[in-house]
Structure 1
Amino acid sequence: MRKQLIIEKLNEKQKELQFSGNVRVIQNSDSFTCNFGYANLPEKLENKAHTRFGIASGSKIFTAISICQLVEQGKLAFDTKLNDCLAIDFLYFDKNITIHHLLTHTSGVPDYFDEDVMEDFEELWIDRPMYHIRNVKDFLPMFQYEKMIDKVDSAFKYNNTGYILLGLVIEAVSGMIFSEYIQKNIFESAKMADSGYFSLDLLPSNVATGYVDEPEGILKSNVFSIPAKGSPDGGAYVSVEDMECFWEALLNYQLLTKPMTELLLTPQVHEEDDYFYGYGGFMKVREQKVVKFVQMGYDPGVNYHSVHYPHDDLTIIVCSNKSSGAFEMQNVVEQALLEQD
């Protein structure tokens, strides 16, 4: 691994972007971490190796794996209908929505945060304060009686509501609170000791505060910008080392059996260009083979990117406590280690 070159390039890009966060690179059993910026800006507390960052939608894969675990246990099937899982009235939802549709963003259900309608995530909390959003069911008033935005089995359209619904299914089928299910069956199984779904007003130690850019170069905390506690569509906190543990556990069949892991990582629906979406997230496909698995997450004061290249045995994990910069830092490593993306 060209470690020194990568570190030099990352330092250059960090200065250009004023990036704050951690970058971890793993290839062929060799690894290193670079830490940049501050976990707490006023106190000048630096981001360190085990600093925990929010990863927004990067945690959708935990929800997907949980569903796959319940399928393996015979408690669900991918063609199980939503109506057969939940005793909740969705007046305008199509009765043919299945688990598969929700996992692949093809259900057509209304998205409580539709980026085509609103650009600012903070707009969600004007009429419904974010400090009330602490449980999966707290999202229901945001979409329960809205009409479908597309037909079932329509083309891929990224949809957060679908994963809220999957979280409700996990709770109904497992009998556990969503965050507790993930803690026991994913974080503990993968030895992700720093990870969890933490409440913003009850944060443990070593958590990076998220910062949002304001006019005139001011940075404000994201404490009033995101839900009080993470949910099935995003919001877990992790360290970059924990995400290395996650990738290792997933790819070594510690979270799911080999057949189910392969299904999780199989392309299901086309997104655009060479990119597809499977049950476990985005993936780039060339000549009918997956060349790159992609995880990402964006919230105010939160930016996460992680990729795994199976052929090159390369994993890159970037967590930031600002709203941007993770992709650019990831790209620095890709350009240094790969002849082509």
Structure 2
Amino acid sequence: MTALGDGVDALARESGFSGVVSVERSGEPVFAKAYGLADRRHQAPNTLATRFAIASGTKGLTALTVVSLIEHGALSLSTTARSVLGRDLPLIGEQVTVEQLLGHRSGIGDYFDEDAGQAITDYQLSVPVHELSNTEAYLAVLDGYPAKFPPGERFSYCNSGYVVLALIAERVAGRPFHELVRDRVCTPADMRGTEFLRSDELPRGTATGYLSNDGVSRTNVFHLPVLGSGDGGIYSTADDISALWRALFAGKIVSRDWVAKMTRPCSDVPSEGKRYGLGFWLHATNDTVMLTGYDAGVSFRSVHDPRADLTHTVLSNTSDGAWQLTRYLEQNLGPHPE
């Protein structure tokens, strides 16, 4: 993998990349390297153990938490959101189901609508970010958005849908969503460094998110909820992401039958050149599975090829840092390398 490593090094140097790049085959590291600074103010470097926000990569963990509750009889795919929400969020239709929310086919309005064309670095939240410190607090930003289309009609990526799933999980389990993710996903997957963290009190060894990659030290602390929920906001490491893929396909989080259902295409998404299952992005033509996150000061992608048992992951604490490198890895590793 010397040529691959040399190519990653060159591209990281040219782009000023800040983050971690990891390639693993059959549970063994092939290439892993950290670049840039986790904290520019204190000149603290990123390391392979640094925790990064993974933005919408969180949705895969949310989906697994919900499916775990389904396996244990607390929910079903056909459970309606309304049956759990009661009078909250009245613009969510009576027929919207957990399955539709998982597959981004619910049609509900989105508080953070990525189809609206706003820049990822815009200030988009309608309430002060410090108020969003638990999942129930998100009711204040979820309410008031009319449905975009009838439930089940088509795919439309929806952040609100995954916060609603977190609310549903919390209410049926009677426990905070963050604890459910820890106990039902992170613990069985042995993801010891993965957790929801407050952006205003990040512990040592955690990367601060920056809005540009040109040396400006403005952070993302005012752009995102102070504590994430079902649609994003968990922090993780490259090793933990690899552990997630291993545990997922070994049936350690949910059963292999459920893994097959979650990674079966529910929608073609031509605009992304991909397909979508239940919580996971899927390659357009093969069985490669992906998690992707993009937000102010955050970019992340992890790609797992279960046939080749090959994983490559790029985590970055800038808004666009991951994309050149993940494309390079996809081009040079291919979907099913020999």
1:255-278, Cα deviation, whole Å (9 max, x unpaired): 011111111111112211752110
Shift in Å, 1:339: 7.8
Q: Aligned residue for 2:24?
A: 26
Question: Within the alignment, does 1:292 sit opposite 2:291 as a pair?
Answer: no
Structure 1, 53-62 or 274-283: larger mean CA deviation: 274-283
5 Å-filtered alignment, 1:177-256, equals 177-213=176-212, 218-256=216-254
Matches of residues 1-341 of structure 1 in structure 2 within 5 Å?
A: 3-31=1-29, 32-117=31-116, 119-121=118-120, 122-125=122-125, 127-213=126-212, 218-272=216-270, 275-286=274-285, 290-338=286-334
The residue matched to 1:222 in structure 2 has which SS? coil
**Structure 1 alignment gaps of length 5 or more:** none
Q: CA deviation at 1:292?
A: 1.6
Deviations 1:36-74 (A, max 9, x none): 101111222111111000000011001100111111111
Q: CA deviation at 1:307?
A: 0.5
Give 1:217 deviation, angstroms. 5.4
> Tell me, what secondary structure is at the counterpart of 2:233?
coil
Instruction: After the TM superposition, list the runs of 4 or more consecutive aligned residues in structure 1 that deviate by more than 6 angstroms.
Output: none
For residues 61 and 338 of structure 1, what CA distance do their matches in structure 2 show?
A: 23
Query: Residue 99 of structure 2: SS of its match in structure 1?
Result: helix
Q: Distance in 1 between matches of 2:335 and 2:91?
A: 50
Whether the aligned pair in 1 keeps the contact of 2:196 and 2:233 (CA below 8 Å) is: yes
Partner letter of residue 179 of structure 1?
Answer: H
Report the AA paired with residue 278 of structure 1. Answer: G
- The TM-score with structure 1 as length reference comes to 0.93
Query: What is the aligned residue count?
Result: 334
1:88, CA displacement in angstroms?
A: 3.4
Q: Distance in 2 between matches of 1:221 and 1:54?
A: 13
Q: Confirm or deny: 8 A CA contact 2:127 2:140 kept in the other structure.
A: no
- More displaced, 144-153 or 236-245? 144-153
The 1:37–1:197 alpha-carbon spacing in structure 2 relative to 1, beyond 3 Å, is same
Cα distance 1:62–1:229, how it changes in 2: closer, same or farther (>3 A)? same
Report how far residue 132 of structure 1 moved: 1.0
Mean CA deviation greater in 17-26 or 36-45: 36-45
CA contact (8 A) 1:302 1:320 kept: yes
**Contact 1:6–1:332 (8 Å) recurs in 2:** no
Q: Which runs of 5+ in 2 are unaligned?
A: none
Counterpart Cα distance in 1 of 2:335 and 2:144:
50
Q: Secondary structure at the match of 2:14?
A: helix
Looking at structure 2, the residues matched to 64 and 85 of structure 1 have their Cα atoms a distance apart, in angstroms, of 17
Q: Tell me whether 161-170 or 183-192 shows the greater mean CA deviation.
A: 183-192
Q: Which residue type is aligned with residue 232 of structure 2?
A: G
Q: Is the 8 A contact 1:5 1:336 kept in 2?
A: no
For residues 340 and 119 of structure 1, the distance between their equivalents in structure 2, rounded to whole angstroms, comes to 36
The offset of 1:197, in angstroms, is 0.2
CA–CA distance in 2 between the matches of 1:162 and 1:328? 29
Counterpart Cα distance in 1 of 2:335 and 2:164: 41
Confirm or deny: 8 A CA contact 2:282 2:289 kept in the other structure. yes
**8 Å CA contact retained: 2:110, 2:145:** no
Q: Distance in 2 between matches of 1:276 and 1:339?
A: 15
Residue type of the alignment partner of 1:129: P
How much has 1:233 moved relative to structure 2? 0.3
CA distance in 2, matches of 1:205, 1:191: 21
